[in-house]
Every structure is written in C-alpha cells, then in structure tokens.
Amino acid sequence: MAQIIDGKLIAQQTRAEIAEEVAQLKTQGITPGLAVVIVGENPASQVYVRNKHKACGEVGIYSEVIAMPEQTTEEELLAKIDELNGSTEIDGILVQLPLPTHINEEHVLNAIKPDKDVDAFHPINTGKIMIGNPDFLPCTPAGVMVMLQKSGIDVCGKNCVVVGRSNIVGKPMAMLLLAANGTVTVCHSRTKDLASVTREADILVVAIGRADFITGDMIKEGAVVIDVGMNRREDGKLTGDVDFASASERAGYITPVPGGVGPMTITMLLRNTLTASALHHKR
C-alpha cells in the first residue's frame, strides 16, 4: 500500500515558513502585497479568490480583491492592471481565470509586469523557466516540487513522466523536473500506447483533467504518483485523474484528491508574492 503524501500538512509547514519570512520583512517596514482581480460571477472562481485572500491574511500578506462586473471591457481591465502595475503597495498581480469570452486572455496576462506576475504566465517568466533562471515558478508545478522534496524523494536520475502538456501545469512541470536532473517524458492525447510509457515512470505526474484515467495497471511497482487532477463525479465527490484505489496498491507514494496538490498551489502563490516583494525592495 502506497505512502500518502499529505499536501495539507506540507502546505501548513510551508505557510509557517512563509509567515516567519513575512514577519521579518515587516520589521524592516516592508509588507508584501497581492492584488487578485476577478471579472464576473463564476462561482468556482469566487471560491478560489476567497481562499487566496484568506491565505494571505493567515501569513500576514496584504491582499486586495478587485471584483469587476461581467460586462467589464478588455480596455477597462487593462487599465486596472496598468494601475496595479504602478502601485507601490502591490508586489504581485493575479487575474483569476477564466475570463469572460469577450476579453482576450493573452492580452491581459501579457499586460502584467513580469516582476509582478506571481502566476508566472508572462512570456518573459516562462522563458526564464525554460533557460533555468526563473524569478517565479508556476504555482502548481512548484508545489509538486516542494512535496517531493519534503517527502524525501530525489528527482535526480529518475525516469519522470508527465501526462498532460498544458502551459499551466504540464510544460512547466517538465521543465522543473528536468532542472532537478530528472529524465523527462511528456505524454498527451496523441501518445501511442500511453500505458507502456507510464509503466516506465519512477515519478508519474498526471494533469489531464479526466477522472480516474490512470489506473493501477498503468503504474510501475513502487512509483511516486502525483495526481494534479480535480474532477467532480456524478455523485458530487471530488476525484483526481488517477484511480486512487487501484493506483495505491501499486505505487510507493501517492497524493490524494482532495488534500494532495491542491493546498500547495495557493501556498506557492504566497511564496511568489514574497519573492516579488524581495525583488522590489532590492532595487
């Protein structure tokens, strides 16, 4: 039976470390600040934004939530981002996705100053990740790396398979594993005989958005299985991209859903906001 990697516990430990660093900055008269912009009434987005605001309060980061109506124009949103770019109180800017369909997501994300882009979505920040010289790391992949480290799992020399190639998780996850000297394979919907590839993985990271897609027979005995997925079954229960019951019989380590990667994502947003504050006050 696999050992559970407890994302809640690791997130608590990491947030305690962040809170200490924030407290030290405050003794120098510096308070890190995060602005979260939400456009429209998407219920899931509203929950995420509330959770981010609450997490900031818990570690002592100043947090500002800017709620804009659904009919907000792209020009109005860009003007708000420009205002936040110039604010000395705000170190990090996050625009909650998805945006209403009449707003171009790429235009908006590219408008955030790279040194305030705490989601690490700006092309400059993604480029820095590619060349191994990042200022910020994307929150979910960064959270996965912290979970591996705090669980005593060494990536160096391991066969690492990432299932999924999104810009938010799959691609940057591959880059971070590569930077840690893993041997990385990226799989996707066009991969032939996916199971034959996943069965070679010492570390398997799954982020494809398909409930219970990876089953125990697709996993190498003793592998580390990181499930980034978050799906809701017909009965309303949350489940990941990995079939936990069968996978946990084969894996050496596994993350649950919920309580695995999820808590780490917001934690790394806090870390990036702290990093942004440090960057701004070095100048």
Report in angstroms the alpha-carbon separations of 47 from 54, 72, 119, 180, 269: 11, 20, 18, 33, 16
Alpha helices in the chain, H assignment, sequence order: 7-26, 43-59, 74-85, 105-111, 123-130, 139-150, 170-179, 194-198, 244-250, 262-282
Catalytic residue among 6, 52, 171, 227: 52
Concerning whether 26 is annotated as a catalytic residue, the answer is: no
Q: Is 8 a catalytic residue?
A: no
Task: Determine whether 96 is an active site residue.
Answer: yes
Separation of alpha carbons 201 and 141, rounded Å: 17
Would you say 31 and 25 are in contact if contact means Cβ atoms under 8 Å apart?
Answer: yes
Tokens (6 digits) for 83: 């205002």
Active-site entry in 6, 91, 96, 243? 96
Whether 225 contacts 254, CB under 8 Å: yes
Catalytic option among 6, 115, 117, 119: 119
Residues annotated as catalytic are 52, 96, 119
